[in-house]
Chain A
Amino acid sequence: MSLINPSNRSKGPHKGFSKRTENNRIYAHPLPLVLFTPPDPSPLQRALGLVGISSTQVLNPHCEGVFDAATRSVWVDKHGGAMVLWQRGFFGKGDLSRSEPSWLARQINARKMAGKGLTSEEVTAKRRAERKQFKLDRARAMAAAAAEAEVAFAEGRVVSPGYAPDGTRIIPSAATWKPSLSTAAEQAPPTPDDAPEEGEEGDGEEEPLEDLEHLQLTLQEAFFLLWNLDCLTVLSPDTHEPLTLPQIWDTFQNAHHPPHLSALPPAPSPSPSPLPSIPPSPSPAPALRRFDNPFLVNYVVYHHYRSLGWVVKNGIKFCVDYLLYKRGPVFHHAEFAIVVCPVYEDPADQASSPFELQNATPFTWSWLSTINRVNSQVQKTLILTYITIPAHSRLSPDVLSSPACFAHYSVREVVLRRFIPTRMRD
């Protein structure tokens, strides 16, 4: 789906055949690592293939991102492989866009005022404006029909409210309404003339726009990519040196320990790691490490679903923690909405916790009902994912010095559907 070039846009809920094949081509790889089999094997490779040694190579894009402590995320820009991470697995989100980092393309479109190749935000904005116009038309038509019915009643006539004498529908329906030409003309140019462009603006025509957007990966996504697939390098924000895995392990957990350390110099502290030459990075002393660190809890859930093949994205728009997509957001709407419910094995840990984990205490039935209703209306199934946080009394904090601690968490799911006895009899 090229953002700047025109494409065949088909209206309605069904994507056209060309758009589907285009999406299948662009988003063909479910993960950043690509298995590549050379098409013409040499005789040696064929011989090795008989023995069982395949000539398939693993192509690694080697993306690069910078850790940002304040926003608790890893920023990847275009040169670091942002589009690769998005197109192969839908990792991350453009920080100025709804999904794919398309801010620069939108600005270029706005400048050109061509409007031929619309990005997803512009498509949505246009659709919303049309729907608003449709609702206004419909409301007007209904009011007029009601007024006419009143008049007819007062005179003693009987009038059929839905259809005009010549058989056409008076009140527009969503399927048959078309945007009128006048409204289309009003909406056609977006409003770039009021807001000044970011940065330089003389005549503005030829000035190259700086791309101010980056792809933002949550710590869970970044850790998944670097620990499991080894396709992401995370640089330190101060020195721009690649961080080693133990440093990343500590840094990602530290991000949730107050205070934020991005503006302050790192305080030297005895690092528990055995490597001697690490620059002084603020790592928590072993006693401060906790199993209920939000990074760890969310990572367990993220890893659980990603390893099963789901694409996991943030669910704030539907009042939940995560959304599960079968192939990706461009293909179909999410089927499942996940609410993460952490459960403490030892209640004393919850009392002494410096973090306030969401949903760690049972919710009220009304809140649960609300979330379920919101999601049923958008045809998503609500899943409560319970994750058990191991007790500090049972395990020593040294367990937390490596990702091996994940083996001690357990995940259970409960699927929630509203039962309506009258309607669900079959």
Chain B
Amino acid sequence: MQNHPSYPKLSQLIAKYPKASAALFQVYNDLLLAQRWSDIEVLDLPACSRGAIKGRRPITDTETIRSTCVVVPCSIAESLSTSWFHAAFASLGDPPPEEMYLAITTEDASTVYYKISKGIVKPPV
């Protein structure tokens, strides 16, 4: 992992939160290289003991501008609670964003993304 070009940007957070390092590394590479997000920056969320990633994603059909989203990585082996999510939203800024993405990673480098919103959201028509 140390020889990968993405390692230098993440080395600080990898050293600080070793348990979450695999998920952070995998999600960072997926967003940067495979999903082609831009303006990617890495945030530190001490309340969740991990780093998070903020960036702008490519345009989908229903949008006109590239929206900025936050992705919090985690591993499938972890157990998360609603208070964890509250803490994550709280540490993402003031006022906290309405939604964030949870990226769940596995050992074979699969990543699935879930959109987590604060409170109930009406489904789109």
Contacts and interface: CB of A to CB of B under 8 A. Distances in A.
Interface of A: 68, 70-73, 92-97, 103, 129, 132-133, 139, 191-192, 194-196, 198-199, 210, 212-213, 216-219, 221, 237, 258-260, 262-263, 294, 313-314, 316-317, 356, 358
A188 B109 CA distance: 29
Contacts of A71: 1, 22, 25-26, 107, 109
A97 B108 CA distance: 11
B100 to A, nearest CB: 19
Contact of A70 (B14, B38, B76): B14
Contacts, number: 102
How many residues of B sit at the interface, in one of the four size bands? 35 or more
Interface in B2-53: 2, 4-5, 14-15, 18-19, 21-22, 25-26, 29-30, 32-34, 36-38
A199 B14 contact: no
B70 interface: no
B22 A70 contact: yes
Given A70-B14, A70-B22, A260-B18, A194 B107 contact: no
9 closest Cβ contacts across the A-B interface? A95-B109, A195-B36, A216-B109, A71-B22, A96-B34, A260-B18, A70-B22, A314-B108, A218-B107
A305 to B, nearest CB: 15
B117 interface: no
Interface string B57-83: 011010000100000000011010000
B107 A97 contact: no
A97 B110 CA distance: 9
Contacts of B79: 356
Interface of B: 1-2, 4-5, 14-15, 18-19, 21-22, 25-26, 29-30, 32-34, 36-38, 58-59, 61, 66, 76-77, 79, 104, 106-110, 112, 125
B18 A94 contact: no
Given A103-B34, A129-B61, 4 more contacts: A93-B108, A95-B30, A199-B5, A260-B21
B33 A194 contact: no
Contacts of B32: 198
Most B-side CB within 10 Å, residue of A95, A210, A258: A95
A217 B110 CA distance: 11
A129 B4 CA distance: 33
Nearest to A133: B61
A314 B58 contact: no
Contact of A72 (B22, B25, B58): B22
Contact of B76 (A103, A191, A196, A316): A316
Nearest to A195: B36
Contact of A191 (B15, B21, B26, B58): B58
